[in-house]
A and B are shown apart, each in its own frame.
Chain A
Amino acid sequence: DAKTTQPNSMESNEEEPVHLPCNHSTISGTDYIHWYRQLPSQGPEYVIHGLTSNVNNRMASLAIAEDRKSSTLILHRATLRDAAVYYCILRTGSGNTGKLIFGQGTTLQVKP
């Protein structure tokens, strides 16, 4: 299974953009890039996913490098509610296609 590497922690100020990086140098051509976040005392929550092109939704944007070996989750204006552990996950496009391989994630602190 391909793995991802993320910084252990990051800090941001409220209402400023946040760029959360992820390296996945062993990604295969059929792997999707997913981001989930886990707020304290809750289950993981889907944020966004993509394959090759950049993606936007109401929660965030996902920028994928041209060689797909890295990606960046962008929160456009961080709020206190965005403080969570953010997981960058590769999901295979074949076989057990629902399997999410969670790494250690990045703990995001948002300061008022």
Chain B
Amino acid sequence: EAQVTQNPRYLITVTGKKLTVTCSQNMNHEYMSWYRQDPGLGLRQIYYSMNVEVTDKGDVPEGYKVSRKEKRNFPLILESPSPNQTSLYFCASGDGSSYEQYFGPGTRLTVT
């Protein structure tokens, strides 16, 4: 089954404690990206990757890091989380032909 998986699905953490949210896709997609969803602001792109070892900033990259060492994985790293990063995070992947994108189930992060 074609899918994008994210882990963990829920996370409560404290300010400053480094964390990683994993994202994996099984469709051999070249394009992967991370979004955050906040009430009243919709979904905003954080980072994206057009292929292995190729990453770039989206609209709201501050406070986040990503890496793309393998085609299937695109982890999101928060080196020093702050309360304003409390949000619902979605990972997405797509191919280059139709750009139909598949979204993961979301990770709800709370930073206290």
Contacts and interface: CB of A to CB of B under 8 A. Distances in A.
Given A43-B103, A44-B103, A98 B42 contact: no
B45 A99 contact: yes
B84 interface: no
Given A98-B48, A98-B50, A99-B48, A44 B90 contact: yes
A91 B92 CA distance: 15
B64 interface: no
Interface of B: 4, 31, 33, 35, 42-45, 48, 50, 56, 58, 90, 92, 94, 96, 98-106
A100 B31 CA distance: 12
Contacts of A45: 103
Interface residues of A, number: 21
Nearest to A98: B31
A104 B31 CA distance: 24
A46 B33 contact: no
